[in-house]
């Protein structure tokens, strides 16, 4: 489109042209001020809010993932403790009978004859005199008496420790036999982990872990 030469226009036409130009500028200004600028600001705000929401979402997902892992570890730990307690901890009602069965079974596997397994009961532990004595387990001790050679003694100890990694041999007395130099009188004090009280045993063994729902 060919625009008219401004010099050839009369005053009335010039005024109309200038008015049209002013109106055009006002329309553009109004469009920018009232439409484009608010839209840009709104878009920026929406972008910022979206970024903030994404950060919150990422954080929430991370927390849920850690919480899920903690739940899994808690459930696994409880299950492992319960399994070990059933396998390695004497029952509350008759610990001596249970321990004696473990001792005789280990002795038979290495060809050692056990003379006796006597009950020494629950003994004091190094931590039992502290201010924070609230343990689930305490030492339960027995005395084992037998006659055997050194190699058989080593085999018996190895078998006992293999069958129960939580037991502790706290004393071994060896007395020579004059009539049988290859055999010795052996007295051993052995401690097993034992429930400190029935309530703790019940709490641990009845625990179900963390609800996954």
Complete DSSP assignment for 115-158: EEEEEEEE---TTTTSTT---SEEEEEEEEEEEE-HHHHHHHHH
Distance of CA 112 to the CA centre of its chain: 42
Q: How far apart are CA 132 and CA 135, in angstroms?
A: 8
At 31 the pLDDT is 52
At 19 the pLDDT is 65
The torsion defined by the Cα of 83, 87, 92 and 94, in degrees rounded to 10, comes to 160
* Residuewise pLDDT in 10s, the chain (213 residues): 445 555 565 666 666 666 666 665 565 555 555 555 555 555 555 455 555 555 655 666 666 566 666 666 667 777 888 888 888 999 998 999 999 999 999 999 999 999 999 999 998 766 555 545 567 788 999 999 999 988 999 999 999 999 999 899 999 999 887 787 788 899 999 999 898 888 877 877 887 754 444
Contact 136, 195 (CB under 8 A): yes
The top-level CATH class assigned to 95-203 is alpha beta
12: three-class secondary structure by DSSP? helix
pTM of the model: 0.62
At 46 the pLDDT is 45
């Amino acid at each position: 489109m060919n625009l008219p030469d401004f010099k050839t226009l009369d005053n009335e036409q010039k005024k109309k042209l200038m008015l049209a130009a002013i109106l055009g500028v006002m329309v553009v200004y109004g469009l920018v001020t009232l439409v484009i600028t608010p839209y840009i600001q709104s878009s920026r705000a929406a972008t910022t809010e979206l970024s903030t929401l994404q950060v919150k979402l990422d954080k929430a997902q991370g927390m849920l993932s850690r919480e899920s892992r903690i739940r899994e570890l808690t459930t696994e730990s409880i299950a492992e403790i319960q399994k070990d307690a059933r396998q390695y901890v004497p029952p509350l009602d008759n610990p001596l009978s249970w321990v004696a069965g473990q001792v005789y079974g280990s002795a038979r596997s290495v060809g050692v004859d056990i003379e006796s397994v006597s009950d020494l009961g629950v003994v004091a532990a190094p931590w039992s005199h502290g201010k924070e004595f609230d343990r689930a387990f305490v030492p339960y001790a027995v005395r084992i008496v037998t006659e055997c050679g050194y190699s058989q003694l080593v085999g018996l100890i190895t078998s006992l420790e293999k069958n129960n990694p939580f037991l502790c041999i706290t004393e071994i007395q060896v007395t020579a036999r004059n009539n049988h130099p290859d055999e010795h009188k052996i007295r051993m004090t052995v401690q097993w982990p034992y429930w400190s009280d029935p309530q703790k045993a019940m709490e641990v063994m009845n625990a179900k872990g963390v609800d996954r729902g």
